[in-house]
Amino acid sequence: MNLKGVLPPISTPFQDGEVALERLRQNFQNWNQTGLSGYLVLGSNGEAVYLNEKEKREMIEVSRESIPASKILMVGSGMESTRETIQFTNQAARIGADCALVVTPSYFKGSMKPEILRDHFVAVAESSKIGILLYNVPQFTGINMEPELVAKLSEHPNIVGMKDSSGNIGQLSEIIHLSRKGFPVFVGSAPVFFPALCVGAAGGILAVANVVPNECVQIFDLFEKRKFDKARELQYQLTPLAKGVTTKHGIGGLKMAMDLAGYFGGDPRPPLKKPGPEVKEELKQLIQHLIEPKDKI
């Protein structure tokens, strides 16, 4: 397992309110044609918080069937309690996940001191049958993992990487510098994908890669070939769409953009909603604008 490159945190398709597994298979058929390194199943963008246990299991099973061995199957397995996190991580392992992404517990924000987080991640790492990645996403959790804590945890043999969605490049830079050499850190915020690569990120786990996987992979490839100016130029073109499907229009916007780009997006689960027709037009133009000029780069 080579932890690098671009992975989408895949969207969970619903039809008539239920998980639509056939639609998921279709999406994988298309995504598998691209240069994506793998997939994150049951991430934030997969609306994992809206799925029950059975639905989560089925999502992993169908993903396992659909993803070739050459690509990574990463599963979001973090829960609030340490024991449920361990149970669910090992369930994902049994179904065939390659690794698990474990978010910081966060409900009791004031109590989530560095030692509490450290003990939680060490306990999960010790008991997990697959490698785990730390997941820092302050905009959802209200909790931030300090670089010093990540650095310590990076020494654990079963903690195999990290996803940092803070969007804070200074912090990402420090995390990479302080952690053990070679510890792969993925950035989780597409508008800073290019600068994250500049400071040493291993790749990106990017919502917008559900919609335009080729363009995201192209930024990574241009960077690897040291064509920095072209990578930066493509980043500039990607940013408006990347913001459109996350901070600006949320999960509803992401699913709408997927529908526009030839994938199955569908509706999010309530209370989330799809945005209105004016957003559809906006997203349409952003996608077209992005796909057209890329040949020139």
Nearest to 3 by CA among 213, 218, 183, 207: 183
- Whether 170 and 145 have beta carbons less than 8 Å apart is answered as no
Annotated catalytic residue, options 56, 71, 163, 274 = 163
Comparing CB distances to a second copy, the nearer of 64 and 230 is 230
Comparing CB distances to a second copy, the nearer of 105 and 266 is 105
List the one residue from 2, 22, 33, 83 that touches a second copy (CB under 8 A): 83
Comparing CB distances to a second copy, the nearer of 48 and 74 is 48
Comparing CB distances to a second copy, the nearer of 131 and 191 is 191
Please list the residues that pair with 287 across neighbouring strands.
Answer: none
Residues 115 and 192: their CA atoms lie apart, in Å, by 29
CB atoms within 10 A of CB 187: 27
Contact letters for a second copy, residues 151-180 (x by CB under 8 A): ----------------xxxx--xx--x---
Task: Write down the least CB distance from residue 29 to a second copy, Å.
Answer: 28
Q: Alpha helix locations (H) across the chain? A: 21-31, 53-66, 82-95, 114-127, 138-141, 147-153, 169-178, 193-198, 213-224, 228-243, 250-260, 277-291
List the one residue from 191, 244, 265, 266 that touches a second copy (CB under 8 A): 191
Sign (positive or negative) of CA dihedral 265, 252, 190, 280: positive
**Contact range with a second copy by CB under 8 A, out of 48-56, 66-74, 259-267, 276-284:** 48-56
CA triplet 28, 162, 210: central angle to 5 degrees?
25
Number of residues that bind a second copy (CB under 8 A): 54
List the one residue from 110, 157, 182, 277 that touches a second copy (CB under 8 A): 110
Is 163 a residue of the active site? yes
Q: Please tell me whether residue 270 binds a second copy under the rule CB under 8 A.
A: yes
Task: Write down the least CB distance from residue 216 to a second copy, Å.
Answer: 16
Task: Write down the least CB distance from residue 51 to a second copy, Å.
Answer: 8
List the one residue from 239, 274, 282, 283 that touches a second copy (CB under 8 A): 239
Tokens of 160: 């195999």
Tell the residue number behind the tokens 């199957």, with chain if given.
73
Q: How far is CA 199 from CA 169, 174, 183, 272, in A?
A: 8, 9, 13, 35
Q: How far is CA 96 from CA 12, 111, 181, 211, in A?
A: 19, 34, 28, 26
Task: Write down the least CB distance from residue 5 to a second copy, Å.
Answer: 19
Give catalytic residue positions. Answer: 163
Which parts of this chain interact with a second copy (CB under 8 A)?
A: 17, 44, 49-50, 52, 80-84, 105, 107-112, 116-117, 119-120, 123, 139-140, 142, 167-170, 173-174, 177, 189, 191-192, 194-195, 198-200, 228, 232, 235-236, 239, 247, 250-252, 269-273
